[in-house]
Structure 1
Amino acid sequence: MPHIVIEYSDNLPEAPDFRALFAELHGALVGLGDVKLNDIKSRAIKLSDWYVGDGAASHAFVHVKLHLINRRTVEFKRRAVAAMQTVVAAHFARALAERQCQLCFETIDIDGETYAKTVSPQL
């Protein structure tokens, strides 16, 4: 924990370099404190079935979801979103310039009482 899930429209003008983006996002979250690098898991989902506004082909979007154990404060979540906005905007600068692109961010609380994971032993 945390988990970063990025959903994005398939019409972005550039092919996203998600390895670089994830590395920067992980660093930004660790920089906030109280986040361990090896606990962060990220993935991206390219969407081919989507519709924004009036359906114009010029619309595009990147939606970033940050899943956190529900013990995080609102202030922490705000700082996390602000840090992610800076990183994501830099990675999608061309989409912002060439499309009617929306970068959206949300935090999602995960119930810490019921969240579970199994981690393999160190090899």
Structure 2
Amino acid sequence: MPHFTIEYSANLEDRVEMAAVVELVRGTAIETGIFPVGGVRVRAIRCEHYAIADGRAGFAFLAMLLRLGEGRDLAARKRAGEHIFSELSRYLDPLFADEGFALSFDMQINDKETSWKRNSIHDLLIAEARHG
């Protein structure tokens, strides 16, 4: 259940291709090897209304939150997080050269006792892998 939610300031729309960011995060998450392919979800949400620092219009942000289920040790989570953040950060490097950009990434572990899921995608991917 690795679900990535990316919130970004609307002023990034003309400077970043969000479809490419979403695909980069999806692919990089899978590369880590600790997330089931069928569970990976990445969504980007444009924030129309926001205020940053001293209110300058040119300031921009991208904040990513990963919600995941229990079961991965801290070392594995840190390796995966560092890999994902590093690739995303590298992709967004040009924004850091502009005037004022903030990038953040946080992980949140969902308590299995209060997290419900239903997903037919895992079974579909397994069946496709078996039968080509």
Bigger mean CA deviation after superposition, 2-11 or 91-100 = 91-100
For structure 2, the 5+ residue unaligned runs are: none
Shift of 1:52: 1.4
Deviations 1:39-78 (A, max 9, x none): 1011011112111111112211100101111322222222
Q: Does 1:58 align with 2:58?
A: yes
How far does residue 15 in structure 1 lie from its aligned partner after superposition?
4.4
- Seq. identity, %: 27
Aligned equivalent of 1:20 = 20
1:6: Cα distance to partner? 0.3
Letter of the structure 1 residue corresponding to residue 11 of structure 2: N
Matches of 2:34 and 2:11, distance apart in 1: 36
* Corresponding residue for residue 47 of structure 1: 47
- TM-score, with length taken from structure 1: 0.84
Amino acid in the other structure paired with 1:55: G
Where does residue 95 of structure 2 map in the other structure? Answer: 95
Larger radius of gyration: 2
Residue type at the aligned position of 2:95: A
Q: Distance in 2 between matches of 1:73 and 1:24?
A: 24
Aligned counterparts of 1:16 and 1:53: Cα–Cα separation in 2:
21
Distance 1:98 1:83, change over 3 A: same
Shifted more, 74-83 versus 61-70: the winner is: 74-83
Q: CA RMSD in A?
A: 2.2
C-alpha displacement of 1:13: 6.6
1:70–1:110 Cα contact (<8 Å) kept: yes
Q: 1:20 Cα deviation (Å)?
A: 2.6
Structure 1: 5+ residue stretches without partners: none
Q: Determine helix, strand or coil for the equivalent of 1:11.
A: helix
Alignment-mate amino acid for residue 64 of structure 1? M
Are the aligned partners of 1:13 and 1:95 in contact in 2 as well (CA < 8 Å)?
A: no
Write the deviation string for residues 54-113 of structure 1: whole angstroms up to 9, x where unpaired.
111221110010111132222222222211222222332332211310101100111123
Indicate the SS of the match to 1:108: strand
Distance (whole Å) between structure 2 residues aligned to residue 32 and residue 65 of structure 1: 17
